[in-house]
């Protein structure tokens, strides 16, 4: 498979949906000789059509607007530096304003805010990821997938226009200082953490997005499920972004597709890393890792943690089946404001998702059902809350959370056949 690791670079608080590697398929191959019309034709011929999930959601093909470069320059004030929302390996994301009805550029704070991702014009990888985004987000529509409004391919520049996600990424709330989208500034690290109920809401929404992809007419394997790819609107509704590594699932009765190993170290399923065999339930493993991050407040991989705690799954797994041990590894910023029984059920679900054999993992529809039941358990003070500060002291003996909540963006190695830099700015936020 020829996988290699590349260290991620820091990104700003807003991240846009770019990719470490494109998922361009034969029917949608990257070429600088193609036109915008070729892109539309490629999307419409890439299969899928309309389908319905068991929850009744419909995969309709969105109508994408072809924006003019001049209009996007106007919407972002000529891509001024003070409109930058984030940067990644293959492009920069800007905040712009357009008319809600006509999508014409408008003045600042007038009309509808959008996120405009501008791929590096000298990067073939940037072109491929641009095409992969149009291919998948241009085909599916669901409340838990970020909405692609349109694109621009003009003067050898490749741009994508997304809905604006006010709360940014889940990653920014779990691991970094938060961002005030109105005052355009970073808030202190001690800003209010996500409460238990909101974490469950986000987890359920993200799970519904994956379930939708897996149950579409031509199942889609997301392949890069992680906290930085989960975006949040103003109500903390979760939406999946960054479809650059997505692939269509197996067909003709096959159990998996074979592809070179790509993704983010710490989230990729072990069978995929070892063999390049990609199953639909390889996504379920990644979901389990993110749910573990949401419970503990710790990153999946962090070289700054003490020896033995570098990989979160290996360190935390033994504690997930014991109430006393689980309480010790729970995110101390939750301040014990969660039902321990609910946390135990979530931990049990994590263990199921992290099963070594993909066949033993639950489907994402089963995950959604379980999370909904967990959310029904009322939040009430945990027994022994009066000793909560002591509990946090005990947590310190593990040496984990003093590292897990650093405001720095920790480097995370990524898998990539070309040794591509792992970071990427990521869709629609602030």
Q: Which residues are part of the catalytic machinery? A: 224
Q: How many angstroms separate the Cα of 10 from the Cα of each of 80, 86, 152, 172, 305? A: 21, 10, 27, 12, 18
* 162, 115 Cβ separation under 8 angstroms: yes
Any residues with CB less than 8 A from the CB of 426 and at least 6 apart, and which? Answer: 11, 14, 15, 16, 17, 18, 86, 88, 93, 169, 228, 229, 231, 241, 242
Any residues with CB less than 8 A from the CB of 291 and at least 6 apart, and which? Answer: 203, 346, 349, 350, 353
* 5, 229 Cβ separation under 8 angstroms: no
The closest alpha carbon to 377, from 339, 348, 344, belongs to 339
Buried (b) or exposed (e) across 205-229, using 16+ Cβ within 10 A? Answer: bbbbbbbbbbbbeebbbbbbbbbbb
* 119, 18 Cβ separation under 8 angstroms: yes
Question: What three-state secondary structure class fits 391?
Answer: helix
* 21, 132 Cβ separation under 8 angstroms: no
Q: Count CA within 13 A, CB hemisphere, residue 109.
A: 3
Can you read off the two tokens belonging to residue 205? 């929404």
Q: Is 117 annotated as a binding residue?
A: yes
Rounded to 10 degrees, the C-alpha dihedral 135/141/143/144 comes to -30
Could you give phi then psi for residue 331, rounded to 5 degrees?
Answer: -55, 120
**Binding residue ranges for ATP:** 117
């Amino acid at each position: 498979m020829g996988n290699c690791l590349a260290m991620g670079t820091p990104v700003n608080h807003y991240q846009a949906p770019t990719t470490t590697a494109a998922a361009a398929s034969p029917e949608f191959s990257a070429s600088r000789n193609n036109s915008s019309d070729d892109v539309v034709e490629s999307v419409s011929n890439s299969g899928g059509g309309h389908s319905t999930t068991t929850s009744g959601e419909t995969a309709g093909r969105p109508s994408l607007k072809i924006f003019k470069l001049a209009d996007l320059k106007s919407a972002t004030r000529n891509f001024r530096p003070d409109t930058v929302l984030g940067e990644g390996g293959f492009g920069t994301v800007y905040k712009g304003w357009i008319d809600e009805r006509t999508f014409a550029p408008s003045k600042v704070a007038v009309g509808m805010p959008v996120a405009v991702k501008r791929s590096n014009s000298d990067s073939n990888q940037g072109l491929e990821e641009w095409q992969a985004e149009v291919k998948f987000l241009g085909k599916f529509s669901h409340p838990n997938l970020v909405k692609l409004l349109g694109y621009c391919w003009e003067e050898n520049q490749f741009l994508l226009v997304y809905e604006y996600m006010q709360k940014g990424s889940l990653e920014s709330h779990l691991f970094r200082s938060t961002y005030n989208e109105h005052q355009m500034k970073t808030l202190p690290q001690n800003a209010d953490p996500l409460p238990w109920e909101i974490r469950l809401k986000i987890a359920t929404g993200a799970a519904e997005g994956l379930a939708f992809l897996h149950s579409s007419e031509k199942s889609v394997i997301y392949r890069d499920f992680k906290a930085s790819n989960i975006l949040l609107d103003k109500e903390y509704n979760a939406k999946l972004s960054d479809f650059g590594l997505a692939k269509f699932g197996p067909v003709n009765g096959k159990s998996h597709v074979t592809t070179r190993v790509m993704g983010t170290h710490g989230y990729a399923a072990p069978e995929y890393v070892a063999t390049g065999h990609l199953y639909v339930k390889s996504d379920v493993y990644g979901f389990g890792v993110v749910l573990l991050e949401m419970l503990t407040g710790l990153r999946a991989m962090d070289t700054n943690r003490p020896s033995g705690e570098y990989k979160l799954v290996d360190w935390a797994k033994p504690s997930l089946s014991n109430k006393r041990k689980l309480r010790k590894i729970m995110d101390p910023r939750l301040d014990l404001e969660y039902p321990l029984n609910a946390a135990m059920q979530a931990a049990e679900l994590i263990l199921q998702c992290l099963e070594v054999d993909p066949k033993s993992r639950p489907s994402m529809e089963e995950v959604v059902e379980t999370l909904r039941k967990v959310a029904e358990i009322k939040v009430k003070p945990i027994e022994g809350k009066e000793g909560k500060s002591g509990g946090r002291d005990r947590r310190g003996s593990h040496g984990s959370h003093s590292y897990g909540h650093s405001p720095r963006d920790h480097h995370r190695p990524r898998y990539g056949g070309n040794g591509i830099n792992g970071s990427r700015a990521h869709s629609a936020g602030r």
